Amino acid sequence: MTPAPPSTSADAPALDAAALRADFPLLDERVNDQPLVYLDSAATSQKPRAVIDAEVDFLSRTNAAVHRGAHTLAAEATDAFEDARETVAGFVGAAPEQLVWTSGATAGINLVAYALGNAAIGRGAPASAPYALRAGDEIVITESEHHANLIPWQELAARMGAVLRHIPVHEDGTLDMAAAADLIGERTRVVSFPHVSNVLGIVNPVDELIARAKDAGALTVMDACQSAPHLPLDLPALGVDLAVFSGHKMLGPYAIGGLYGRAEVLEALPPFLTGGSMITTVTLDEADYLPPPQKFEAGTQPVSQAVALAEAVRYLEGVGMPAVHAHETRLEAHMREGLRQIPGIRLLGDAEGVDRVALCAFDVDGVHAHDAGQFLDARGIAVRVGHHCAQPLHRRFGMTASVRASAALYNTADDVDVFLDAVSGIRSFFGVAS
């Protein structure tokens, strides 16, 4: 049974987006001599001054190699690094040992795919044996995947002789859960899916997907890139085995992300990257590995980025994730209803009665997405145009590209109004309005 969506009613705490904007230096900039309206947070979010200062402060006052030195600075840097792990892990409901630092969600999914491949050739046995794929085993994904949650599974299937299958989406963008029930079965070994589609903005029924995967004995992997910045998130409570998210989409810096894993899964999986800092004993012939999460953190880690991401988490927690979700839900409803009223606009995934994040992708009849994006950019409005790293999903809807507007906690209703007013003028500007 799918749980009720987070509250967006009057009992949700209020959020003053206009006041929050003062914390984000870049939002004061002008673009093409126009006030910036930033509606591209699904691609990358803006950073509050506190996050920028946290990274600069670490590099200025504490910079040293972590887990490697006995001097004072090394100890302070290590403490800051591990404190950041505890803070970020807590944000998604996890224990520190359940959070592996990565360079982002793409790296996290590749880590999992390659670890499963290593299990298939006997690395980490006997603990890793339950996760070893064999020829003919099946990996199930969805038609709405970002390429980062598609191509690693294509490659793993090709290496292992496994079969890659996908859950289709309905015309309204919702997952075909009847098809999912047929697809997930005794040969299924992995079920990987997005919590929220980066094109459709729909919160998927992940509890049902996880339950079906568990019944089949399959490993579950969730892409939480578009949910972690926008929804209250408790990964252990969801019951997912593994999940990834990216720092730069949740007010943090680039080149940092997290891989959450249930303790028993992380303990059983063999490592992917190997080298320094993830070992206990090394001889010229073999090595013994540290327990998770260090087992998966070979080499130099993104230390200053982790410290800054922890500050981003503290910022989000200070605002309150229920308040963030309630505010963004109102923005999404305003944006979607406004786009529906503009002639020649086709919304992707325009389903009714589903929980969403503040993201709308659409086609402008008679105008290429890139031309529409340039029209908006000339008016200081930043949106994403293209296939958004989701070519199969766009193909499903008969197009190669779309315009995507995505809001965050720092956006206001005025931002949406400026955007809608501009979109209403696109077709007439290009001479295609009827």
Active site residues: 389
| DSSP labels, 10-75 | TTSPP--HHHHGGG-GGGG-EETTEE-EE-BTTT-----HHHHHHHHHHHHHT---TTS--SHHHH
> Which residues, listed in sequence order, are joined to residue 384 by a DSSP beta bridge?
404
Name the DSSP class of 431. T
The answer to whether 144 and 199 are in contact (CB under 8 A) is yes
Q: How far apart, in whole angstroms, are the C-alpha atoms of residue 159 and residue 370?
A: 37
- Look up tokens 């992940």; give the residue: 206
Of 142, 126, 132, the residue nearest 200 (C-alpha)? 142
Orientation of helix 321-340 relative to helix 413-423, angle to 10°: 20
Residues 6+ apart with CB under 8 A from 160: 117, 120, 133, 134, 135, 137
Task: State yes or no: cis peptide before 270, omega within 30 of 0.
Answer: no
